[in-house]
Chains A and B, each alone.
Chain A
Amino acid sequence: DAGVIQSPRHEVTEMGQEVTLRCKPISGHDYLFWYRQTMMRGLELLIYFNNNVPIDDSGMPEDRFSAKMPNASFSTLKIQPSEPRDSAVYFCASSVGDEGNQPQHFGDGTRLSIL
């Protein structure tokens, strides 16, 4: 079975440019999560969706960050304008149901470097 698919795997761009990260969750999963991982802060939850609706975006660092989920099989995380401190690995995860005993399944991430 296909897992969570993220693209691109690597992105290098210059400061000020717009960056769009993409995620395809596991089919049938109704929760989708965006995380960011850095050496300093570890793994942090940025935002999550339930049935394509954003539920909690309290982890989104600034207004430069936005996320959308236009349908059940696709989500984007956009940074505009990008800054060097946004460099990190961004993970997408999905799960089924809203019970605490449902594990999240992660993609392999997008490694973002802002020069």
Chain B
Amino acid sequence: DAKTTQPPSMDCAEGRAANLPCNHSTISGNEYVYWYRQIHSQGPQYIIHGLKNNETNEMASLIITEDRKSSTLILPHATLRDTAVYYCIVRSFSGTYKYIFGTGTRLKVLA
């Protein structure tokens, strides 16, 4: 699976959009980009995933560049409850089934 690179930490003002970047320059054509977050003392929570096209759900939007070498998770109106560690994961379409969690981005939403 491709490796991902994320900034170690970010701050965001409450009510503003939080844009979390991820680089995955060695991604293969059949590999999905997944985003999870982990709030203290809880298990990782699935947010969104995509292959080529941008995706949106009730939690967030995922923007994937045309060359697929990077992506951005957007939380449109961050709240204090969005404070968490956000993990970007690249996962193969078939074969090994492993998520390889990196160190993630620690997002702090400020009041």
Contacts and interface: CB of A to CB of B under 8 A. Distances in A.
A binds B: yes
A3 to B, nearest CB: 9
B97 A99 contact: no
B81 interface: no
B57 to A, nearest CB: 11
A9 B93 CA distance: 33
A103 B46 contact: yes
A90 to B, nearest CB: 10
Given A100-B31, A109-B43, A43 B94 contact: no
Interface in A79-115: 91, 93, 98-101, 103-109
B30 A106 contact: no
Q: B-side binding surface: helix, strand, loop or mixed?
A: loop
A77 interface: no
A112 B107 CA distance: 26
Interface residues of A, number: 21
Contact of A42 (B91, B94, B103): B103
Interface in A46-103: 48, 55-56, 91, 93, 98-101, 103
A101 B98 CA distance: 12
A104 B49 CA distance: 11
Contacts of B92: 100
Contacts of B91: 100
A15 interface: no
B45 interface: yes
A36 B25 CA distance: 27
